[in-house]
Amino acid sequence: MNENEQFLYEKEGMYKWEDWCRELDLLNCNGEHEWEYRYHIGETGRENLFSQCTRCGKKGEVGCLKHSTVPNFKEKIKLGEINKYDLKLLNEKSPTFEKYNAYRNLKLQESLNIEKANRTEFYNQYIKSDKWKAIRLKVLKRDNNICQACLEAPAQDVHHITYANIGDELMYELISVCRDCHFNRIHKHRK
């Protein structure tokens, strides 16, 4: 991530593709591209003509240009009057889908981390509440204080089968379990 992409990443919110490209253009070139004709040798060995911004590496909107756009195009390449298309500059500065997707994935992960932290905080507060303590006692009583996982040990915990309705659980979403089953069987992946 270059410094301009980092700057956009640190801004609040998430840009759509078109807005991200426009913002990078403004940061890279202040909205004023310096276009120059450049050539690129394609996979077939054919020399293609493009316009490229010398500051940010962006390709001109038109795409591949006709050779007749530049008189004596091939001769000027041989004489070094037309520079080769700068892929390094393009990859460093210009917006690409790969860079945008990396930016977007970082933003989404950041958002998920914040959401998870908020859920965890809510859960930790809820488990301490009088409402939860009353529900917990109802579930233990309903299950006769017997672990519903092994049907042998005395239940000490109440496990959420789903967290979809946390704070407003339906009773069938909760089961009584012993500590051994709760942490060594149900939540064994958390070790």
pLDDT at residue 169, as a whole number: 94
Whether the predicted pLDDT of 178 surpasses 90: yes
In the chain, what percentage of residues exceed pLDDT 70? 99
Give the mean pLDDT of the chain: 89
pLDDT at residue 151, as a whole number: 97
> Per-residue pLDDT tens for 126-157?
999 999 999 999 999 999 999 999 999 999 99
Whether the predicted pLDDT of 88 surpasses 70: yes
Whether the predicted pLDDT of 56 surpasses 90: no
φ and ψ at residue 45, rounded to 5 degrees = 90, 0
Whether the predicted pLDDT of 96 surpasses 80: no
Q: Report how far residue 20's alpha carbon sits from residue 6's, in angstroms, rounded to the nearest whole number.
A: 12
pLDDT at residue 191, as a whole number: 62
> Per-residue pLDDT tens for 114-124?
999 999 999 99
**What amino acid is encoded at 21 in this protein?**
C
Whether the predicted pLDDT of 9 surpasses 80: no
pLDDT at residue 27, as a whole number: 86
Q: Between residues 166 and 8, which one has the greater pLDDT? A: 166
13: pLDDT confidence band, cut at 50, 70 and 90?
A: confident
pLDDT at residue 126, as a whole number: 95
Comparing CA positions, the residue from 179, 176, 180, 185 lying closest to residue 158 is 176
